[in-house]
C-alpha cells in the first residue's frame, strides 16, 4: 500500500498544527461558530445530534494493521470503544470532544492518516473497488490512480470552496463494485484501440434528493491526461455549479440542467487549454506510486486446494460461510475474504475497538497486514491462502465477524439515522436490526439469495436507498416515523434508481412490508433468478398488488 514520504508526512503534521491553532482560537472565542464551522468541516469534524462527530479518511478504503490498531486505540481512548465504517470507506467516531480532536489528529498523523476533507464543500475521499489489485476480473489496479487523485485533490487551492461536496470513484474492473455511476465523477478503466488502458469518464451521477445515474462524457481518456481532465471538469463546475440553492448545487444538477452534451463541450474546451501541461505527472512519479501497490510476495500454490474442499465437506457452517463470504482471487490458491459487519441484530458498519485490534492481528497473520473497508460497510482481508481459510473462519467467528451473509438480505447498508444524525427524519439502524432479526434464519437468507437492502433516514440518501434492490427511506409525519419503499435500484454496472412502490409504511409495518416483497419475489422467481432479475422481468406491479392488497 502507499506509504508516506517526508513530504506527505510534513503535510499532515502541519495540518495537525494548523487545526490545533484553529481549535485554540475557537475555544478562546476568537473564532465564531460560523467562522470555525468550515474549518472544522475541512477536518471532518461535525456537530451532530448528541455530540461532535469525527470522520477519519481511509483513502480508497485501504488500511494497514498498524493503522487499524491506531483506530482501535482512538476509539478506546477518545471515544466510547467503537467506530462506524461508512459508505465512503471511511470511519467515524460519534463521541469525540472538540478539545481532544487535535490530539486525535496527531495520533492519526503518526500512522500516516488524517481527517482532511472528509466533510465540507470540497473533494471527499476517493473510493474504489474493495477488491482492487486482487480481483480476477480487473484490467488494472485502480488504487494507483486513486492515490494520484488523493494527492492532487488534497488542499487544492482552487477547489476547496466548491458549490457542494464532490465525490470521485474509480474502478479497474468491468464489474462495478464501487458504484461509480452514482458519483460526481466516476472513472472506469477501459482498454483503448491499441490495447492501452485509460478511463471512461462519467460525470453527474449521484443520490440525494434528485438521484441520477451519471452519463458518460468521454468514452476513453488516456491515463496520462487524468489530472488535466479532472481539473477541467472541476473548473467548469466551480464556475457554473449552482450556488443559489444548496439542494441544486451538486454537479449532477448542472449536468441535468445544461445537458451532458453541453457540459462535455465546456469541459473539452477548458481541457484544450490545459492538457499536455503542468498537470501531466512525470512517468517516474506514476511509477513511484505504482511501486507501492506491487503485489505482495505470494506463494506459488496450486489452484485446487483439496484440504480446503475437505474442510468444506466436513463442516457445513464453514462451507456456508466460504460459499457466501469469499470472492475469487487472481492468484491461484488465494481467496478474498469478506468480514461481515452485519451480525444479526447488530448496527451495520459498527466495530468495537477489540474487534479492530483482532482484525489487525488476523491481517498480519493471514493477509500481508492489510485490510480494506467496503462501501457496503464491511471489511475485507484480500490475500488469504485457501489453506488458512478454515482457521481464519474460526477466529473470525470468535470475534463475531463471520456472519455468512455477504450480499444477502441482512447485509444492509444503513445511515446512522435519527439515532445520531441531526438531519435525519427517522431512525435507520433499528429498521436494519429488525429486518436482520426477521430473516435471522440463515438458511432462509441463502434461499432468498442476493438481495441488497439499503436504508436512509432522510432524503440526503446517505444509506443509498435509491440504489437498493429494496430501498427504504425514513420520513417524518406528524411526529411519527414512516418508511417509503423503493424497488429495483442497483449500484453496479447496471446502475438504476429504484422506483417508489406506493404510500409509506409505519415503523411497525415496514418490516412486514419488506417480508411481503421478499415473499412475492420467492413466489415469482424462475430458474435461479436473483431478486433484481425477477423485478426487472415482472416490474413493480405484482409487488405493489401484494403490498397494498389489504388496503
Residues 146-185 that bind other proteins (CB under 8 A): 151-152, 154-162
Q: Which stretch binds other proteins (CB under 8 A): 13-21, 172-180, 328-336, 385-393?
A: 13-21
528: contact with other proteins by CB under 8 A: no
The string of DSSP letters for 11-63 reads HHHHHHHHHHHHHHHHHTTSS-HHHHHHHHHTTTEEE-SSSEEEEE--GGGEE
Q: Which stretch binds other proteins (CB under 8 A): 44-52, 64-72, 330-338, 440-448?
A: 44-52
276: contact with other proteins by CB under 8 A: no
Binds other proteins (CB under 8 A): choice among 90, 118, 121, 403? 121
- Considering beta carbons, is residue 22 or 207 the nearer one to other proteins? 22
d(CA 256, CA 335): 42
258: contact with other proteins by CB under 8 A: no
| Grid cell at residue 71 | 483506530
Distance from the Cα of residue 156 to its chain's centroid: 23
DSSP 8-class letter at 427 = -
Q: Which of 516, 525, 522 is nearest to 544 (CA)?
A: 516
- Considering beta carbons, is residue 26 or 466 the nearer one to other proteins? 26
243: contact with other proteins by CB under 8 A: yes
- Considering beta carbons, is residue 212 or 482 the nearer one to other proteins? 482
Q: Which stretch binds other proteins (CB under 8 A): 63-71, 195-203, 232-240, 314-322?
A: 232-240
- Total interface residues for other proteins by CB under 8 A: 67
306: contact with other proteins by CB under 8 A: no
d(CA 123, CA 117): 6
Residues 6+ apart with CB under 8 A from 524: 534, 538, 542
Residues 6+ apart with CB under 8 A from 269: none
| Grid cell at residue 340 | 461481515
Please classify residue 352 by burial: count the beta carbons closer than 10 Å to its beta carbon, then call 0-12 exposed, 13-18 middle and 19+ buried. Answer: middle
**Minimal distance, residue 160 CB to other proteins, in Å:** 6
**Minimal distance, residue 367 CB to other proteins, in Å:** 30
- Taking each helix axis from N to C end, the angle separating 65-78 and 353-366, rounded to the nearest 10 degrees, works out to 170
- Taking each helix axis from N to C end, the angle separating 101-109 and 65-78, rounded to the nearest 10 degrees, works out to 170
- Parallel, antiparallel, or unpaired: how do β-strands 62-64 and 370-373 relate? antiparallel
**Minimal distance, residue 48 CB to other proteins, in Å:** 8
d(CA 512, CA 438): 9
- Considering beta carbons, is residue 28 or 302 the nearer one to other proteins? 28
Q: Which of 358, 456, 346, 361 is nearest to 405 (CA)?
A: 346
273: contact with other proteins by CB under 8 A: yes
52: contact with other proteins by CB under 8 A: yes
- Considering beta carbons, is residue 18 or 320 the nearer one to other proteins? 18
Q: Which stretch binds other proteins (CB under 8 A): 33-41, 105-113, 354-362, 515-523?
A: 33-41
Residues 329-348 that bind other proteins (CB under 8 A): 347
284: contact with other proteins by CB under 8 A: yes
Binds other proteins (CB under 8 A): choice among 3, 193, 282, 316? 282
Residue written as grid cell 501541461: 277
**Minimal distance, residue 28 CB to other proteins, in Å:** 9
Count of other CB atoms within 10 angstroms of residue 296: 15
Residues 6+ apart with CB under 8 A from 508: none
272: contact with other proteins by CB under 8 A: no
**Minimal distance, residue 449 CB to other proteins, in Å:** 28
462-485 per-residue burial string, b: 16 or more CB within 10 A, e: under 16: bbbbbbbbbbbbbeeeeeebbbbb
Residues 358-417 that bind other proteins (CB under 8 A): none
CA neighbours within 13 Å on the CB side: how many for 434? 15
290: contact with other proteins by CB under 8 A: no
Q: Which stretch binds other proteins (CB under 8 A): 59-67, 92-100, 307-315, 357-365?
A: 92-100
Binding mask 464-483 for other proteins (x = CB under 8 A): ------------x--xxx--
Asked if 252 and 212 touch (Cβ cutoff 8 Å), the reply is: yes
In the chain, DSSP finds a helix count (H) and a strand count (E) of 18, 21
35: contact with other proteins by CB under 8 A: yes
**Minimal distance, residue 74 CB to other proteins, in Å:** 16
Please list the residues that pair with 422 across neighbouring strands: none
Asked if 84 and 356 touch (Cβ cutoff 8 Å), the reply is: no
Give contact residues for other proteins (rule: CB under 8 A). Answer: 5, 7-8, 10-11, 14-15, 17-18, 21-22, 26-27, 29, 32-33, 35, 38-39, 47, 49-52, 80, 95-99, 121, 151-152, 154-162, 235, 238-239, 243, 273, 278-279, 281-282, 284-285, 288, 347, 418-420, 424, 427, 429-430, 433, 476, 479-481
Amino acid at each position: 500500500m502507499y506509504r508516506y514520504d517526508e513530504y506527505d508526512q510534513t503535510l499532515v503534521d502541519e495540518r495537525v498544527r494548523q487545526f490545533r491553532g484553529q481549535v485554540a482560537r475557537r475555544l478562546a472565542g476568537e473564532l465564531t461558530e460560523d467562522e470555525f464551522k468550515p474549518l472544522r468541516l475541512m477536518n471532518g469534524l461535525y456537530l451532530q445530534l448528541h455530540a461532535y462527530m469525527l470522520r477519519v479518511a481511509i483513502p480508497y478504503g485501504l488500511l494497514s494493521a498498524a493503522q487499524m490498531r491506531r483506530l482501535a486505540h482512538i476509539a478506546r481512548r477518545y471515544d466510547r470503544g467503537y467506530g462506524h465504517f461508512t459508505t465512503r470507506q471511511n470511519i467515524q467516531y460519534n463521541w469525540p470532544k472538540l478539545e481532544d480532536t487535535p490530539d486525535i489528529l496527531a495520533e492519526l498523523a503518526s500512522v500516516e492518516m488524517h481527517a482532511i476533507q472528509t466533510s465540507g464543500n470540497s473533494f471527499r475521499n476517493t473510493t474504489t473497488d474493495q477488491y482492487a489489485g486482487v480481483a480476477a476480473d480487473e484490467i488494472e489496479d485502480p488504487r494507483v490512480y486513486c492515490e494520484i487523485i488523493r494527492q492532487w485533490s488534497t488542499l487544492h487551492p482552487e477547489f476547496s470552496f466548491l458549490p457542494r461536496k464532490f465525490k470521485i470513484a474509480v474502478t479497474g474492473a468491468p464489474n462495478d463494485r464501487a458504484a461509480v455511476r452514482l458519483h460526481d465523477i466516476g472513472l472506469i478503466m477501459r482498454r483503448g484501440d491499441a490495447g492501452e488502458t485509460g478511463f471512461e469518464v462519467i460525470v453527474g451521477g449521484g443520490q440525494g434528493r434528485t438521484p441520477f445515474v451519471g452519463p458518460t462524457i468521454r468514452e476513453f481518456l488516456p491515463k496520462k491526461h487524468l489530472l488535466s481532465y479532472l481539473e477541467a471538469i472541476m473548473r467548469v463546475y466551480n464556475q457554473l455549479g449552482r450556488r443559489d440553492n444548496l439542494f441544486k448545487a451538486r454537479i449532477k444538477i448542472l449536468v441535468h440542467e445544461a445537458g451532458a452534451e453541453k457540459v462535455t463541450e465546456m469541459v473539452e474546451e477548458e481541457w484544450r487549454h490545459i492538457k499536455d501541461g503542468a498537470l501531466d505527472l512525470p512517468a517516474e512519479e506514476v511509477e513511484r506510486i505504482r511501486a507501492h501497490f506491487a503485489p505482495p510476495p505470494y506463494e506459488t500454490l496450486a489452484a485446487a486446494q483439496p484440504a480446503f474442499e475437505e474442510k468444506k465437506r466436513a463442516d457445513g457452517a464453514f462451507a456456508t460461510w466460504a460459499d457466501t463470504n469469499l470472492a475469487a482471487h487472481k492468484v491461484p490458491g488465494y481467496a478474498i475474504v469478506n468480514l461481515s459487519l452485519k451480525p444479526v441484530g447488530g448496527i451495520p458498519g459498527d466495530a468495537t475497538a477489540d474487534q479492530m485490534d483482532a482484525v489487525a492481528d488476523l491481517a498480519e497473520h493471514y493477509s500481508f497486514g492489510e485490510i480494506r473497508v467496503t462501501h457496503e460497510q464491511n471489511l475485507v482481508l484480500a490475500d488469504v491462502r485457501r489453506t488458512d481459510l478454515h482457521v481464519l473462519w474460526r477466529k473470525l467467528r470468535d470475534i463475531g465477524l463471520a456472519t455468512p451473509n455477504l450480499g444477502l438480505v441482512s447485509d444492509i447498508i444503513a445511515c446512522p439515522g435519527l439515532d445520531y444524525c441531526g438531519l435525519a427524519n427517522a431512525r435507520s439502524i433499528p429498521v436494519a436490526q429488525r429486518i436482520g432479526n426477521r430473516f435471522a434464519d440463515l438458511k432462509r437468507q441463502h434461499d432468498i439469495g442476493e438481495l441488497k437492502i439499503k436504508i436512509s433516514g432522510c432524503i440526503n440518501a446517505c444509506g443509498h436507498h435509491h440504489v437498493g434492490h429494496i430501498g427504504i427511506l425514513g420520513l417524518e409525519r406528524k411526529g411519527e416515523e414512516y418508511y417509503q419503499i423503493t424497488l429495483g435500484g442497483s449500484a453496479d454496472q447496471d446502475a438504476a434508481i429504484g422506483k417508489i412502490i406506493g404510500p409509506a409504511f409505519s415503523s411497525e409495518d415496514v418490516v412486514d412490508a419488506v417480508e411481503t416483497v421478499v415473499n412475492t419475489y420467492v413466489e415469482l422467481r424462475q430458474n435461479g433468478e436473483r431478486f433484481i432479475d425477477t423485478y426487472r422481468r415482472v416490474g413493480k406491479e405484482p409487488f405493489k398488488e401484494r403490498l397494498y392488497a389489504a388496503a
